[in-house]
């Protein structure tokens, strides 16, 4: 067997790089003139396979790549990514040597973290580029931007002290919207606070080369928030909604991932038979059951037991009983000719939003869910 036959012998994720390029071109066209394109490739490119996706995005003309950790950035550097890389997560200062070695720009959200990076950079005689994070309402990381003028002055002074530390190059200033797809008033308030912070710092002589605020839906809904960079995450991979449906389809975006699985067995079982662990489903008729080699260890959430369907022969087939670690069962009674080796579609543009809805989560989590043992098969 060749590598492709092995990869598609059980369960695999099919990643359409042509669709990724298609989405890139659409999103690029929506950016304000002069704004740069930052492609977010954290979490293995949202489960899509970071190396292949980052290489494709670099070839398409992305200006920046973003990751969540320094280690993710190192992996990209070691695999030929030469674009500027921004680490969005606040990093352990012990990784400062890797930032220097691999030229990874680091987000910094408090003085102590920046001071530790400065100490290392000064020790080795190098510079670490940083983007200063302003907390305008996400309440996660960043310098909290206050309401009163006196508190603003104190926070601005602390940021100024950070940016003047030796060994640091304060290249950028940024924030992150908390509810860009849900709360317009709060999003505009966040943007107002960020611009206030930017202007206050400018009055102190801090003129950042780059400022950015909007990601994915924020870029789509708030052109005034594009600033110098638009950050594109989930929308790159085909979805502009975080919970229900695919609002990105109105833009012509194409989902990049499909997860498929080959039927391992087809079984005829009589009325009254119970299915899987806990016997949570009882057959109400004589039935034909397809056994699929995919379970919660592959990324099919167990909470979808008895609450989800897969596609077999282009028909929706309900999952019966509890999803196991490595397998699940689907009802194919009403289909003709289903046999071992037939391919079932587990996730696609219809089923990913359905899986998110029925499991009470967001699309982000579903596309990130296929585990490392699910091979990524890349197609153009």
Instruction: Assess whether 160 carries a catalytic annotation.
Output: no
Rounded to the nearest 10 degrees, what angle do helices 111-124 and 149-163 cross at? Answer: 20
Predicted local confidence at residue 209, as pLDDT? 97
User: What is the arithmetic mean of pLDDT over 253-259?
Assistant: 97
Residue 249's pLDDT is what?
58
Mean of pLDDT values over 166-178: 98
Catalytic one of 42, 129, 133, 260:
42
Q: Tell me the average pLDDT across 323-340.
A: 98
- What residues contact residue 253 under an 8 Å CB cut-off, 6+ apart? 22, 23, 26, 27, 235, 238, 239, 240, 246
- pLDDT for 240 equals 87
103: nearest Cα among 133, 79, 130, 132: 130
Please state, for a pLDDT cut of 90, what percent of the chain lies above it. Answer: 96
CATH architecture group of domain 17-246: Alpha-Beta Barrel (3.20)
Q: What is the mean pLDDT of the chain?
A: 96
The sign of the dihedral angle between the CA atoms of 282, 286, 288, 291 is positive
- The Cα–Cα gap between 62 and 24 comes to 8
Is residue 42 annotated as a catalytic residue, yes or no? yes
pLDDT category of residue 144 using cuts at 50, 70 and 90: very high
Q: Where are the domains of the chain?
A: 17-246, 257-379
- The pLDDT, as a whole number, for residue 246 is 47
- For 314-326, write each residue's pLDDT tens digit: 999 999 999 999 9
Q: Residue 1 has what pLDDT?
A: 78
More confident residue, 30 or 250: 30
Provide the whole-model pTM.
0.95
Structure confidence at residue 244 (pLDDT): 45
Radius of gyration over every alpha carbon of the chain, rounded to an integer in angstroms? 24
Q: What are phi and psi of 296, to 5 degrees?
A: -70, -20
Cβ–Cβ under 8 Å, residues 348 and 258? yes
User: According to the model, what pLDDT value does residue 245 have?
Assistant: 43
User: 129: alpha, beta or left, given left = phi > 0 and alpha = psi -120 to 50?
Assistant: beta
Catalytic residue (one of 192, 209, 268, 277): 277
In CATH, 257-379 is 2.40.37.10: yes
Helix extents (H) in 207-257: 217-221
* Model confidence pLDDT, tens digit, residues 64-90: 999 999 999 999 999 999 999 999 999
Q: Sort strands 104-108 and 287-292 into parallel, antiparallel or unpaired.
A: unpaired
Q: What are phi and psi of 152, to 5 degrees?
A: -60, -45
Per-residue model confidence (pLDDT) at position 251: 87
Confidence at 235, pLDDT banded by 50, 70, 90? very high
Based on the number of CB atoms within 10 Å of its own CB, is 229 exposed (0-12), middle (13-18) or buried (19 or more)? buried
> 43: part of which helix (H) or strand (E)?
helix 42-47
* 168: confidence class by pLDDT, cuts 50, 70, 90: very high
**Could you give the CA distance from residue 125 to residue 143 in angstroms, rounded to a whole number?**
27
């Amino acid at each position: 067997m060749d590598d492709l036959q092995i990869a598609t012998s059980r369960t695999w994720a099919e990643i359409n790089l042509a669709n990724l390029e298609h989405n890139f071109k659409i999103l690029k066209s929506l950016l304000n003139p002069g704004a740069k394109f930052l492609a977010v490739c954290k979490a293995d490119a949202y489960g899509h396979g970071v190396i292949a996706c980052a290489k494709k995005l670099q070839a398409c003309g992305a200006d920046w790549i973003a990751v969540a950790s320094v280690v993710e950035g190192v992996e990209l550097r070691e695999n030929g990514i030469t674009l500027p890389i921004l680490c969005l997560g606040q990093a352990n200062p012990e990784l400062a040597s890797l930032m220097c070695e691999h030229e990874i720009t680091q987000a910094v959200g408090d003085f102590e973290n920046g001071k530790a990076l400065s100490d290392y950079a000064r020790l080795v005689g190098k510079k670490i580029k940083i983007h200063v994070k302003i907390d305008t309402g996400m309440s996660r990381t960043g310098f909290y931007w206050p309401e009163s003028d006196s508190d603003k002055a104190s926070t601005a002074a602390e940021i100024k002290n950070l940016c003047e530390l030796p060994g640091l190059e304060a290249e950028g200033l940024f924030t992150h919207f908390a509810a860009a797809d849900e709360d317009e008033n709060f999003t505009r308030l966040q943007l107002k606070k960020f611009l206030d912070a930017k202007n206050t710092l400018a009055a102190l002589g801090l003129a950042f080369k780059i400022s950015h605020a909007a990601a994915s839906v924020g870029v789509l809904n708030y052109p005034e928030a594009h600033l110098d960079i638009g950050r594109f995450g989930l929308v790159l991979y085909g979805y502009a909604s975080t919970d229900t449906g695919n609002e990105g389809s109105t833009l012509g975006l194409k989902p990049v991932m499909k997860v498929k699985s080959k039927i391992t067995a087809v079984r005829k079982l009589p009325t009254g038979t119970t299915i899987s662990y806990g016997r949570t489903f009882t057959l109400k008729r004589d039935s034909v059951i397809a056994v699929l080699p995919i379970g919660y260890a592959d990324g099919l959430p167990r909470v979808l037991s008895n609450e989800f369907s897969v596609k077999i022969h282009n028909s929706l087939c309900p999952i019966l009983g509890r999803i196991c670690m490595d397998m699940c069962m689907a009802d194919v009674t009403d289909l003709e000719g289903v046999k071992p080796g037939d391919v079932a579609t587990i996730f696609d543009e219809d089923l990913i939003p359905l899986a998110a809805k029925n499991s009470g989560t967001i699309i982000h989590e579903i596309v990130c869910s296929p585990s490392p043992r699910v091979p990524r098969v890349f197609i153009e």
